[in-house]
Amino acid sequence: MTELSFIHRYEPATDPTRPPLLLLHGTGGDESDLLGLGRTISPGSALLSPRGKILENGMPRFFRRLAEGVFDEEDVRLRANELADFVAEARRAYGLEAPVAVGFSNGANIAAAMLMLRPEALSGAALLRAMVPLSDAPKADLAGKRVLITSGAMDPIVPAENAKRLAASLSESGAEVQHEILPTGHNLSQTDLQLMVRWFSR
C-alpha cells in the first residue's frame, strides 16, 4: 500500500468502465468496513477506503461532534478539506479519475461537506443516512454531479426534515439528486443495496 496522508485500503479496478469509489465508513468503522459493499454495488470499480482520523471514545470518525447530531462545524470544514487533499494525492498515486463517494452516516456527512466545500474532489456521491453537515455552506457548483441519498423513515439519529434539507440544498447547487426514504432505521437494508446497484448501473 502506498504511504499517503490517511491510513487506507486500495483495490485497483478490474473494470475500467466503472467509476472509482471513495468508501467512507461510519463512526467506529475503519478502512476495511465498506470494501464488501463497494464490490457489491459497483463490481470492478477501483476502491479507495480511508480511515477517519478523529477518535471518539476510541472509535474512528471523520470529524468531531459536540453531541449526537451536533457537529463541530469548524472541524467539519478542516477535515473535509484534508480528505479532499487526500483524494487528490491518491488520484496521483493510483492514476484515478475523480471518485464517487459512498458514505455511511459519519462518512456520508463528510462526503456531503466535501461536495459543498471541494466539489472538484468528487464526481458524485451515494450518501447513506446523511445529515446537513454545515449550517452555512458556500454555494457550490454541482452541475453534472449525481447524488443518491437514502434515509430511514424510522432513523432515530437523522431527522427526516434534515435529510430533506440536504437533498434540497444539493439540488439547488445543480446536482442531480435522487432522495429515497426507506421504511427502516439508521442501519443499512437490502433495499439500500438494491437502490445503489441500480443507481450505479445507470
Domain coordinates in residue numbering, the chain = 8-201
Q: What is the pLDDT of residues 145-167, one digit of tens each?
A: 999 999 999 999 999 999 999 99
pLDDT at 2: 72
Q: What is the pLDDT of residues 60-114, one digit of tens each?
A: 999 999 988 899 999 999 999 999 999 999 999 999 999 999 999 999 999 999 9
Known catalytic residue: 186? yes
Chain centroid to Cα 39, Å, comes to 16
pLDDT band at 29 (very low <50, low <70, confident <90, very high): very high
pLDDT at 189: 96
Q: What is the pLDDT of residues 175-197, one digit of tens each?
A: 999 999 999 999 999 999 999 99
Q: What's 8-201's CATH class?
A: alpha beta
Known catalytic residue: 42? no
For 144, how many CA atoms within 13 A lie in the half-sphere containing its CB? 6
Task: Please pick, among 85, 123, 171, 186, the residue that the annotation labels catalytic.
Answer: 186
Known catalytic residue: 179? no
Task: Please pick, among 49, 155, 179, 192, the residue that the annotation labels catalytic.
Answer: 155
pLDDT at 122: 98
Listed in sequence order, the residues at least 6 apart from 160 whose beta carbon sits closer than 8 Å to its beta carbon are: 151, 153, 181
Quote the radius of gyration of the chain (alpha carbons, Å). Answer: 15
pLDDT at 1: 61
CB-CB neighbours of 35 under 10 Å: 15
